[in-house]
Amino acid sequence: MKLRMIGLLGLALTAGATLALGAEGGNARKGKYLYKNSCKECHSEGSEGGELTPMSKTMKQWDRYFEKKADEHPGETFGEISEKDMKDIIQFLYDHAKDSPSPETCG
Amino acid sequence: MRNIDLCIFATGFCAGSLLTAGEDHTDYIDGPFENATQVTAACLDCHEEEANAFMTTAHWTWKREQVVNGKLMDYGKEMAMNNYCSSTITNRVHCSECHAGYGWEDETFDFTDQTRVDCLICHDTTGTYHKDGDNSGWPTEHVKLLYVAQNVGKPVRQNCNSCHALGGSANNAKHGDISLVLDYPDRSIDVHMDAGGLDFNCQDCHETENHQISGGNLATTLDGHNLISCEQCHDSDPHGEFLLNTHTARIACQTCHIPVFAKEDATQMHWDWSQAGLDEPPAEVDGKEKRYRKPIGFEIWKKDVQPSYAWFNGKAGVYLVGDKIDPEEVTKMAYPLGDINDPTAKIHPFKIHTGKQVYDVVNKYFITNHIYGEDGFWTTFDWDRSIRIGMEANGMDYSGEYGFAPTEMYWRIDHMVSPKEEALTCLDCHGDQGRMDWEALGYPGNPMLRISKAD
């Protein structure tokens, strides 16, 4: 558990650093694939975490979430996502947020 | 079967290498870079031969000497007309987004300048390299050139899709069987590219040597040059059933194994230019399958589309700039060659994209319209003005009278191979409601019915 918390903290810090100017440097198209595989199980309509798509938040809200609240995210899967994969997922969410130039659901 | 085993082994080996994103160039590339040609100059320090090889390919030249409608000529995207934006001739700033080079905006572009080669569009492994800014193929401003250059590697599907899935105004607008879903598809989308399975990259089938990539688009590779086939891995008797194997001489593998295209991502099936420029969309527009964009006109988009079928011997014909048309008839902008009497032809699946294109009413030929830029149709919505600019640039006479004539364009369906349990079965073609138009294919009727009656 301790290791997991350190991992999450590191992840949140990394995400925060990445997002200082908004998400950048991630592969949004790979992020979409990773989101579908890692996140949708808990974030589809009627599922435990409630439906969540890039359009669920604005770009700034996604920034804020990963800067400040990511370490509160429950569940083991989230903690097992690698730093690189998380960067890609964040890029996907940010690039297709509600107020982005190309808002998108997860398909 | 042995062929398949070898292919899978080779692919697994390659995929393993690619998964590590291979080539760390951090020690070779130190920047900083003020523009993209400086990146290419750095690449050339070690890869000049590769650049020279690349500059002989159609990805650079956009043309190749080949037989077109019976005549030997240079032909390719540079001078082709299609069923979408019509032609690249006066629209280079826009179209060159998909040229693997930097700055091709007019005829002054120097095709001998190696520093204009865009290595990154194919070799970026970060997924952060974009050149979709309507700026003659230069990368968009936010691209971090040093980061991308230090992380180059062998191409993966996402690299190829950046152009081949996005041409024609939107994801999957053109091909029908190449969309962004192929970045990371699952088995139901394509059994070979399944990201959790075989995970083929494009070049696993499109074998490549010295940057010459095999395979070709029906509309620009008209002579069957360097085409690829399923038989590179699968032999001609791939089935356990004799009756199925009797089909392979005249039926392409794709016919049975790609029962639908445009999986997950819809594809554009119809583009009616005659309604472009209207302030109010036509009444029939529903925003789903029937869409309207003022610069584009009326469009029809569909998902999970059943292919059309035609004989195909690997060669194709096209409408050439200046060819006369009958505006009352549908003009084929690109179409497969072959028929039932051609022993080299097989029945092959196609997407048939239909449309209405602007033509010169007096001269009776299609117009190479100028659509992009401050004086282009997408800005002015002035047909007459944009036509005059486009035709003058192309050295063609314009009568001053324009109209709209029906067109269609065939697209090969080769990707999105379904799991074998979803392949077509006997009645899908030979049943009462079968999908084949036997008469159109040259048969007197359902061949199975004739055999049955003879018995």
Average pLDDT on B186-209 reads 97
Cross-chain CB nearest to B184 (options A24, A26, A30)? A30
Percentage above 90 pLDDT, chain B:
89
The values of phi and psi at residue A11, to 5°, are -65, -45
Report the distance separating Cα B167 and Cα A79, nearest Å: 38
Chain B residue with CA closest to A85: the answer is B126
| pLDDT tens-digit readout, B325-382 | 999 999 999 999 999 999 999 999 999 999 999 999 999 999 999 999 999 999 999 9
Report the distance separating Cα B320 and Cα A71, nearest Å: 61
Residues of chain B with Cβ-Cβ distance to A27 below 8 Å are: 126-128, 158
- A88 to B195: CB separation less than 8 angstroms, yes or no: no
Average pLDDT on A32-43 reads 92
* Residue B412, in any domain of the structure: yes
The alpha-carbon gap from A27 to the nearest alpha carbon of chain B, in Å, equals 4
pLDDT at B147: 95
Contact between B234 and B245 (Cβ < 8 Å): no
Mean pLDDT of chain B: 93
pLDDT at A52: 92
Q: How confident is the model at residue B455 (pLDDT cuts 50, 70, 90)?
A: low
- B127 to A88: CB separation less than 8 angstroms, yes or no: yes
Lowest pLDDT segment from A61-70, B104-113, B265-274, B305-314: A61-70
pLDDT at B390: 95
- B264 to A107: CB separation less than 8 angstroms, yes or no: yes
Residue B233 has pLDDT above 80, yes or no: yes
| pLDDT tens-digit readout, B10-59 | 443 333 333 334 568 999 999 899 999 999 999 999 999 999 999 999 99
Cα–Cα distances (Å) from B18 to A63, B24, B28, B206, B260, in that order, read 31, 12, 20, 16, 30
pLDDT at B31: 84
* Residue B52, in any domain of the structure: no
Residues of chain B with Cβ-Cβ distance to A22 below 8 Å are: none
Cross-chain CB nearest to B195 (options A28, A33, A107)? A33
Query: For tokens 């699968």, what's the residue?
Result: B234
Report the distance separating Cα B413 and Cα B415, nearest Å: 6
- Helix, strand, coil shares of chain A, percent, nearest 5, are 60, 0, 40
- B127 to A33: CB separation less than 8 angstroms, yes or no: no
* Residue B328, in any domain of the structure: yes
- B180 to A29: CB separation less than 8 angstroms, yes or no: yes
Residue B2 has pLDDT above 70, yes or no: no
pLDDT at B22: 54
Say whether B129 sits in a helix, a strand or coil: coil
The alpha-carbon gap from B81 to the nearest alpha carbon of chain A, in Å, equals 30
Residues 6+ apart with CB under 8 A from B330: B354, B406, B407, B408
Contacts with A, B 99-138, CB within 8 Å:
126-128
Q: Mutate which of A18, A21, A24, A33 to test chain B, going by most B C-beta atoms within 10 A?
A: A33
Q: Number of structural domains, chain B?
A: 1
The alpha-carbon gap from B143 to the nearest alpha carbon of chain A, in Å, equals 9
- A25 to B184: CB separation less than 8 angstroms, yes or no: no
| pLDDT tens-digit readout, B94-114 | 999 999 999 999 999 999 999
- A29 to B127: CB separation less than 8 angstroms, yes or no: yes
Lowest pLDDT segment from A22-26, B37-41, B100-104, B119-123: A22-26
Residues of chain B with Cβ-Cβ distance to A38 below 8 Å are: none
Q: How confident is the model at residue A16 (pLDDT cuts 50, 70, 90)?
A: very low
Q: How confident is the model at residue B452 (pLDDT cuts 50, 70, 90)?
A: low
* Residue B249, in any domain of the structure: yes
B197 contact A CB<8A: no
ipTM: 0.78
Q: Mutate which of B130, B157, B183 to test chain A, going by most A C-beta atoms within 10 A?
A: B183
The alpha-carbon gap from B186 to the nearest alpha carbon of chain A, in Å, equals 10
* Residue B441, in any domain of the structure: no
pLDDT at B449: 83
- B184 to A32: CB separation less than 8 angstroms, yes or no: yes
pLDDT at B5: 46
B180 contact A CB<8A: yes
Which residue in B167, B95, B82 sits closest to B372, CA to CA?
B95
- B127 to A28: CB separation less than 8 angstroms, yes or no: yes
Q: How confident is the model at residue A71 (pLDDT cuts 50, 70, 90)?
A: confident
Residues 6+ apart with CB under 8 A from B63: B74, B75, B76, B77, B78, B79
Q: Mutate which of B125, B128, B132 to test chain A, going by most A C-beta atoms within 10 A?
A: B128
pLDDT at B25: 92
Percentage above 90 pLDDT, chain A:
53
- B127 to A25: CB separation less than 8 angstroms, yes or no: no
| pLDDT tens-digit readout, B398-419 | 999 999 999 999 999 999 999 9
pLDDT at B436: 97
Domain of B414? 2-30+63-98+154-424
Cα–Cα distances (Å) from B371 to B131, B137, B143, B273, B294, in that order, read 20, 17, 27, 11, 13
Interstrand relation of B267-272 and B346-360 (parallel, antiparallel or unpaired): parallel
B21 contact A CB<8A: no
Report the length, in residues, of chain A: 107
* Residue B116, in any domain of the structure: no
Can you read off the two tokens belonging to residue B159? 């690299």
pLDDT at A11: 43
A26 contact B CB<8A: yes
* Residue B47, in any domain of the structure: no
pLDDT at A48: 86
- B127 to A107: CB separation less than 8 angstroms, yes or no: no
Report the distance separating Cα B44 and Cα B54, nearest Å: 12
The alpha-carbon gap from A64 to the nearest alpha carbon of chain B, in Å, equals 22
pLDDT at B289: 97
Residue B199 has pLDDT above 90, yes or no: yes
Residue A13 has pLDDT above 50, yes or no: no
Q: How confident is the model at residue B1 (pLDDT cuts 50, 70, 90)?
A: very low
Residues of chain B with Cβ-Cβ distance to A28 below 8 Å are: 127
Average pLDDT on A2-13 reads 41
